[in-house]
Amino acid sequence: MPIGVMADALSVALGGLTGAVCCKRISEEMKEKLTLIFGLCSMGIGISSIVCMKNLPAVVLAMVAGTALGVVLRIGRKIEWACGGMQKMLNPNAEENGLLVTAMVLFCASGTGIYGAVVSGVSGDHAILLSKAILDFCTAMIFACTLGRITAMIAAPQFVILMAVFMTAKGLGMAIDERVVGDFKACGGMIMLATGLRIAKIRDFPLADMLPALVLIWLFSGVWMTWVVPIL
């Protein structure tokens, strides 16, 4: 049951509607301070996932190679282009284009969402997506203060994307070694830590370009345990 996916999409829809109605009551000071807390929470979730690591060299190699691959393939730009296409279907208003695309990337194609959907599908642990749902509700409220009710409509493509990731991961879950899952969680945790640092405006990490690491870690972790560990 994709409880986490449904909760996350619902939180964006409700947050968007709530923000559109109550935007005048949300002060700039509140927005600024809540954003810092969002970053702190993301870093905390990331650290809690990193401790699941089983094979440090495999995780480091996946992060380095994955980010390099993402930069070469321009994953970040392609995600922005795809979200820009969805934006034209939701709202052709050119003045709000940049902000709406930013919101769609954040809700639909963030490392936290994809990572959480995979963990949910593989292990049945919905904690990451449920935690993200809490943050997304508040974030959607803040975006809705500028974009209006159109923010709530982002929940539709978000649900479709995360559900697709969840179902794919669920189909593969039974054949995956728990130690590999631990390395995947650690890899995702590093991306979430980077997400928190970016939200808090401490360091601007290329989050979208880091996403290939979530794919490479399955290969590197399996190879490390099968071929390298036995000879050490």
Domain boundaries, the chain: 3-231
Residues in the chain predicted with pLDDT less than 70, given as ranges, are 86-88, 90-99, 173-175
Share of the chain above pLDDT 90, in %: 42
Distance CA 220, CA 120 (A): 21
The confidence score (pLDDT) of residue 201 equals: 86
pLDDT digits (tens, 9 = 90+) for 170-199: 887 656 778 888 999 899 899 989 988 988
Distance CA 196, CA 80 (A): 20
The confidence score (pLDDT) of residue 94 equals: 46
User: Taking the CB of residue 168, how many other CB atoms lie within 10 A of it?
Assistant: 14
pLDDT digits (tens, 9 = 90+) for 78-113: 887 877 776 667 666 544 446 677 788 788 877 788
Tell which residue, 143, 144, 138, 155, has the closest CA to residue 38.
Answer: 138
User: Taking the CB of residue 23, how many other CB atoms lie within 10 A of it?
Assistant: 15
DSSP assignment string, 155-186 = HHHHHHHHHHHHHHHHHHGGGS-HHHHHHHHH
Distance CA 199, CA 129 (A): 18
In three-state secondary structure terms, 206 is: coil
Helical H runs in the chain? 3-22, 28-50, 56-73, 75-90, 97-108, 111-123, 127-147, 155-172, 178-199, 207-210, 213-223
